[in-house]
Amino acid sequence: MFRTSSRLADGREILYFDEKPGRVPVPDPRELPAAEPLCEVRRDPLTGDHVTVTAHRNARTFLPPPDQCPLCPGGPASEIPDAAYDVVAFENRFPSFSSRTAAVPPTVDGEELFPRAPGLGRCEVVCFTDDHGASLAGLPVPRVRTVIEAWADRTAGLSARADVAQVFVFENRGVEIGVTLHHPHGQIYGYPFVPPRTERMLAMAAAHSGDLFADVLAAEQEAGTRVVRRGEHWTAFVPAAARWPVEVHLMPHRHVPDLAGLTAAERDELAVLYRDLLRRCDALYDAPLPYVAGWHQAPAGAGRDLVRLHLQLFSVRRAPGKIKYLAGSESGMAAWINDVPPERIAERLREVAPRLP
């Protein structure tokens, strides 16, 4: 993998991850004002949760036609000036977090109950291919491997920043999920705080008498009823308490805090198993599955010995043509109700293997 860094017209960084050497980045021909996003973080006094306010994101690009896609190479609306690329990562033009954001008063309305702070950190877009009509599941294994290298590189880079407490790598796919661009891509958030899910995992792991993630993995492997596929370094399984109609976790067999900590052998197998998992998901209902695939990693600071890297892939599709909407229990109380038994989804994901391309 060959990494090349450049700048876009408004000063944002763009990084090329190529499978062959020789990249000479094309200058960005656009006339853009300097990137000055407005991001702030407020704290909910009742729950302690952080809420990010980003008014500028309301004007972000929404489902443009293919000839105006900002992720296709070299077009008049493109964020990538070059005529072709393998994998690209760049600072999001409409970020939720940015080191360029302006300072804000320390409280809302001068009330200490409502603290606020600049939404520092960084948000990046990762384009998996320059082919607008492709998908991550349809890419060749070597390209998936390059994507993994880009994820690992950006995880290491963002984790080293003073304004980043947690790095989250994820992909949203499908209009049912709420994607605003169809081009195959994902995102990376460098949060200035540790998000609630990681805080809960840290608390549960600290209270557990042993290695929580190792014990969960061992229990799933021993039961076998929810295991989808097991390799030398990774196991894919539907968790026993799955929240979503389709939910799969992919976990390494040893404790690894983040993607940057994976060995070459682990990355090689991950490229194969992850693509296989995505193809199984698409085969479930004989149609591209709308999903969120997020890599949960250890925080950049304290707790790296408690949280093990793992993928959580989930979908809102509960049956062909039917979507699970978050109703009162889930949205209002975060009390989950799943209509689909986890064991049945694991069985179906195993069954579709012979039909994979």
Report, as residue numbers or ranges, the catalytic residues: 185
Secondary structure of residue 165 in the 3-state scheme: coil
Cβ 75 vs Cβ 84: under 8 Å? no
For residues 310 and 249, what is the distance between their CA atoms, to the nearest angstrom? 7
For residues 333 and 153, what is the distance between their CA atoms, to the nearest angstrom? 37
For residues 315 and 329, what is the distance between their CA atoms, to the nearest angstrom? 18
Amino acid at position 78, single letter: S
Dihedral angle computed from the Cα positions of residues 230, 235, 240 and 241, in that order, rounded to the nearest 10 degrees: -150
Amino acid at position 206, single letter: A
- Token pair 């293997």: residue: 353
Per residue in 236-270, is it b (16+ CB within 10 Å) or e — as a string?
bbbbeebebbbbbbbbbbebbbbbbbbeeebbbbb
CA 282 to each of CA 58, 140, 248, 297, 349: distance values in angstroms, whole numbers, following the listed order: 31, 16, 13, 25, 10
Helices in the chain by DSSP H: which ranges? Answer: 141-159, 196-207, 212-223, 264-284, 333, 342-351
Closest CA to 313 of 255, 258, 239: 239
End-to-end CA distance of the chain: 27
Closest CA to 96 of 50, 59, 56, 64: 56
- Please list, in sequence order, all residues whose beta carbon lies within 8 angstroms of the beta carbon of residue 68, skipping any fewer than 6 positions away: 75, 76, 77
